[in-house]
Amino acid sequence: MCVQPAFIIGTNNEDGTYNFAPITWVSITNEKDNDYLLVISMFGTKMTKQNVIRTSKLSVNLVSTDMLELMDYFGTHHAKDGKKDGISYNICRGEVVDVPILDTSRWVYECEVAHSVEIGDSTTFFCKIKNVQVDEKLACDDTFDINLTKLEPVIYSGMYHSIGELLGKIGDFTK
């Protein structure tokens, strides 16, 4: 079991249309100084993975609880079976990177791949964050100031979960 936040990755298909797929193998690392990289691993031969390999561009849309139906739809419908248009959703284009973005996502990274590593059938992408779009209702001083209970992220561990309450900050529990 590995607890992971849920994201929907947006990519551009070869024909100019868009594609979205849920991915939960997402983390962050630091290249140098304050140069953070999103680390995203994708398994298999899914269209999303092929699009990232081909274009080196992607959007990383955090899934909140109000997006569960959309995430589940994208997870059970595959691009190889045709356009994913059996459910209503709105997209826009990235402000900095030309990628599709889900209008309903409260936190979106626009990324370009800096490095990738293949291990077996998995590819791990180390992505430069070119832009972050944050819902204005989530006003925060910096990224470590986010109250996740307001963000309402979906957490995945084989099943979907949500976060119940804010417990405190670093240092709040030491005497």
Q: Is the pLDDT assigned to residue 109 strictly greater than 80?
A: yes
Each residue of 134-162: pLDDT tens digit? 888 876 776 666 778 888 999 988 888 89
Record the tokens describing residue 43, joined without a space: 């398994």
- Residue ranges in 33-142 assigned as alpha helix (H): 47-55, 68-76
Structure pTM?
0.91
pLDDT at 142: 67
Residue with token string 């709105």: 90
Spatial CB neighbours of 41, under 8 Å, sequence gap ≥ 6: 23, 25, 26, 122, 123, 124, 125
Pick the CATH number of 4-161 from 1.10.10.10, 2.30.110.10, 1.10.940.10, 3.60.15.10: 2.30.110.10
**Mean pLDDT calculated for residue range 73-101:** 90
